[in-house]
Structure 1
Amino acid sequence: MRITDIKVETHPIASNIRNAYIDFSTMTCSLVAIVSDVIRDGKPLVGYGFNSNGRYSATGLIKERFIPRLEKAEPRSILTKDGNNFDPSLIWDTLMANEKPGGHGERSVAVGVIDMAVWDLVSKIEDKPLYQLLAERYGDGTPDKSIFVYAAGGYYYPGKNYQALKDEMQSYVDRGYRVCKMKIGGADLTEDLKRIDAAIEVVGSGRNLAVDVNGRFDLPTAIKYAEALAPYDLFWYEEIGDPADYGLQAAIAQVYSKPMATGENLFSMQDARNLIRFGGMRPDRDWLQFDCALSYGLVEYLRTLQMLRNHGWSPRRCIPHGGHQLSSNIAAGLGLGGNESYPDLFKPFGGFADGHPVVDSYVTLPDVPGIGFEAKSDLIPIMHALAS
C-alpha cells in the first residue's frame, strides 16, 4: 500500500463581504488530492482536503515543504502495524520532521490541508464514514445521529441596511436555522446595537443570536460593548480581542457573565492550552472554536480534546469554526457541541451534503465512506478534476 501521487491547487473563495478586521475580496484556499494504489470499483481511492476560510491558501508551503517529505518517506513507515491502512499520526510526524516548536500560523494551515486528505483516504479504505471511524477509534462506538449547527453571516458589505440584514437572517430561519450569528465591531456601538435589534426582530430572542468581533477590540472597547450586550442575553460574544491576548479575555470574563466564545485563530494544542490556563474561559457556559483544518488537522485536534478533558472541559463545549464537512464528522464522531455553517458563503467548500437539510438547527451526515465530499455535488467535480 502506498501513495502514488499528491496534487495541490489554489482556488478562490472570494466575496465582497467584510468583518471588523478584513474583507474577503481576495480570499483563496488550497485543495489537495492524495492518490493511493488501493483500487475500488476499478479506480484508485483518493483522499481530499482543503483549508478552512479566513486564512489564505498555503499552496506554496504544501508544495515546497510538506509534500516532498511525504513523497520521500519509505512507504511502510506511514502504514499501520498490520499494513492495512495509512496511519495519520505517522504521516503527521513525517510532515513535521525537522520543524521547530512554535510558529503556529501558515504552517499549521498547510499541514491541516494534507491531514484532512489523509483522514478522508483512511476512512475510505476502511469503507466507513469518517464520523463512524472516529466513534469507533476514539469514542463509544456510536456517533451522534445529528449535530447542532448555526448560520454564520451578518457581514458588513456596501449598501447593506437594516432591512437587508433582516432579510438575510430571515433566509437562515427559513432554511431551518434557529441560531444565527452576525458581525459586530465594524461600526460604532450605537450602529451595532441597531443592527443587533434588527436581527433579533427576526430570530426572536437574544439567545438565538451570536455576535462576532473578529478580534478587533481593545480592553476599554470590549468592556463598553460587554456592558451594552449583557441585557440581550446573547448566545455568545465571540473573539472579543486579539486571539492571543489571554489577559483581555480573562478581564472580560470578570465583567460579562453571559457566554463567550473564542479559539478559531489559535492553531495548536499548546495555544489552546494557554487559553484554558490564562484566558478566564468558563467550562460551564463558554464555547471553544478551534478549527482543525487551520490547526494541523485532526491528529492535533485529538491532542487538543485530550488537553481539554484534562482541564475539566467537555467536548460538548466545542463548536468549531469553518463550516466544513471535516468538522461535522468530528462533531458527530467525537461528541462535540456542533459545527458552524455558512449557508451562502465560501462555496463550494463549505456546507453540507446534498439531501441533508437543516431542521431546528440540526443536520444529519451522509452514510458514505470518507468525509462525505462525494455526496456534495457542487464540490466533488472540482476534486475529481484535480485528482485526474
Structure 2
Amino acid sequence: MMAHVNLLTYPICPMKIIDIIESTRPIKSDIRNAYIDFSKMTLSLVAVVTDVIRDGKPVVGYGFNSNGRYGQGQLIRERFRPRLLAATPDSLVDASGENLDPHKIWDCMMTNEKPGGHGERSVAVGTIDMAVWDAVAKIADQPLHDLLACRYGNGVANPKVFVYAAGGYYHPGKGLQGLLGEMQSYLDRGYSVVKMKIGGASLAEDQARIEAVLKMLKPGQQLAVDANGRFDLATAVAYGKAMAQYPLFWYEEAGDPLDYELQARLSESYSGPMATGENLFSMQDARNLIRYGGMNPERDYLQFDCALSYGLVEYLRTLEMLKAHGWSPTRCVPHGGHQMSLAIAAGLGLGGNESYPDLFQPYGGFPDGVRVENGYVSLPSLPGIGFEGKADLFAEMKALSE
C-alpha cells in the first residue's frame, strides 16, 4: 500500500532565469548634436529568458539602452550576467516564488560594486533591469503601466501620456528648409511640442533657426531647444539672454550635466523653463542637482532616463527623493524615447516622455497603430512593456531570444 504523501511538506521550486542574452547593435546615423555625432553609435539588446511557459514558449523579457551611450556587452557578459545566473533561484523571486523580484535582482547585480562611479555600469544594469520588468509584467499577464500603477502609483494608470518630438539635429547638407520640413512633419503627425538642437553652430545661426521654427508654429504648439551640455557658463548665459525673447517650452542641458553651479548661475539670469538630467545616472547625482542646481519645481523639468541610470528600481528611489524635496512626478519627462519610460510615465504619473519619430529605429517609437493626438498617446493593453506590438522591433528581439 502506497504511503500518503503530504505535498505541502516538499519545497516548491521557484521559477528562475534560464539565461541572459546580449547583442550589441548599431544605431548609427549621420546626424550630430552640439557634442557628438552618431556615426558609430551602438546599443545593447538584451533578452532575459525565464522557465515560465506560456502558450508553449518560455516567457522572455526584453530591454535595450537609450541612444547617446554605447552598447554594454562586455560589462553585461563579464559581471552582471554571471552574478544573476550563479544566484540561487529563490534569492531572485518574490514571496510567491512565481515571479521575479526586480529589487532582489538589482541587489544581486550590484553585489561587490563600490558606491559612486555611475558611468557605464549604470547603463548595463539599466538595460537588464528593463528586460526584468518586461518579464515580470508578462508573467503577471499585465501591461507594465498597470502593474506599476497598482504597486507604486494611485492604482490607475494614466490613459494618455504627453509626448514631444525630438529632432532638429545638425546634418550634412541639411539647411533651414530641411529643418522646417522636419519640424512640420512632426506637427502633421499630431505632436504639439517639437525640439531642436542648438550649440552646434554660431549663436546668430542658431537664433535664425529658432526664429524660423517659431514662425511656423500655430497656437498651442511650442518649441524646445537642447544644447547637449556644450556651453561654458558665459556661453550658456549669452544664449539664455538671446533666447529670453522667445516663448520656448524649455532650454535644455546648457552645460556639463555635473556642473551644478553652472546650472544654478544660469537660473539666476534665465527666467524661462529649463530641463536637464538625462546624463545623471544615479539617485545621488539627481539629488545633488536638486540640492545645488538651482532647479525650480514649479518651472523646470527633469529628464532622468531609467535605461541609463540603473533602471526602474533606482528610478523609484529617485522619485522618492524628489517627493521629499517637494517635486511632483509631473515635472519628470524622461529622455530616450523608448516604451519603458512611456510605461513608467503612464503608471507613475510622470509629466510625459520624449519621442524620436524618425530616429534610432526600430528601438524608438510606439506600438504599431498608436497615433499621436494633440501631443498625447494612449497605450495599448499589451502584457509587459508592449514591445510585441511593434513589429520591426519585436522581430529583432525574437531573433535574439531564439
TM-score by length of 2: 0.96
Aligned to 2:10: none
Aligned to 1:370: 384
Q: Are the counterparts in 2 of residues 206 and 234 from structure 1 also a CA contact under 8 Å?
A: no
Aligned to 1:103: 117
Amino acid at match of 2:373: V
Aligned to 1:301: 315
**What SS does structure 2 have at the residue aligned with 1:379?**
helix
Taking the TM superposition and a 5 Å limit, the aligned residue runs for 1:1-388 are 1-204=15-218, 208-388=222-402
Any idea what the Cα deviations from partners look like across 1:96-146, whole Å, max 9, x if unmatched?
000000000110000001000000000000000000000000011100001
- Separation of aligned partners in 2, 1:363 and 1:176: 9
Distance change in 2, residues 1:206/1:226 (3 Å): farther
Any idea what the Cα deviations from partners look like across 1:41-67, whole Å, max 9, x if unmatched?
111100001001110001110011110
Amino acid at match of 1:14: K
Q: Are the counterparts in 2 of residues 206 and 233 from structure 1 also a CA contact under 8 Å?
A: no
Amino acid at match of 2:250: W
Structure number with bigger Rg: 2
State, as a whole percentage, how many aligned pairs show the same letter.
69
**What SS does structure 2 have at the residue aligned with 1:193?**
helix
Q: Are the counterparts in 2 of residues 14 and 25 from structure 1 also a CA contact under 8 Å?
A: yes
Q: Are the counterparts in 2 of residues 165 and 198 from structure 1 also a CA contact under 8 Å?
A: no
Amino acid at match of 1:380: F
- Separation of aligned partners in 1, 2:217 and 2:379: 25
- Separation of aligned partners in 1, 2:114 and 2:131: 24
Where in structure 1 do 4 or more consecutive aligned residues deviate above 3 Å? Answer: 204-207
- Separation of aligned partners in 1, 2:126 and 2:220: 34
TM-score by length of 1: 0.99
Amino acid at match of 2:200: G
Contiguous gaps of at least 5 residues in structure 1: none
Q: Are the counterparts in 2 of residues 206 and 235 from structure 1 also a CA contact under 8 Å?
A: no
Q: Are the counterparts in 1 of residues 106 and 313 from structure 2 also a CA contact under 8 Å?
A: yes
Any idea what the Cα deviations from partners look like across 1:217-252, whole Å, max 9, x if unmatched?
001101110001011020000000000000000001
- Separation of aligned partners in 2, 1:206 and 1:200: 12
Deviation (angstroms), 1:204:
3.4
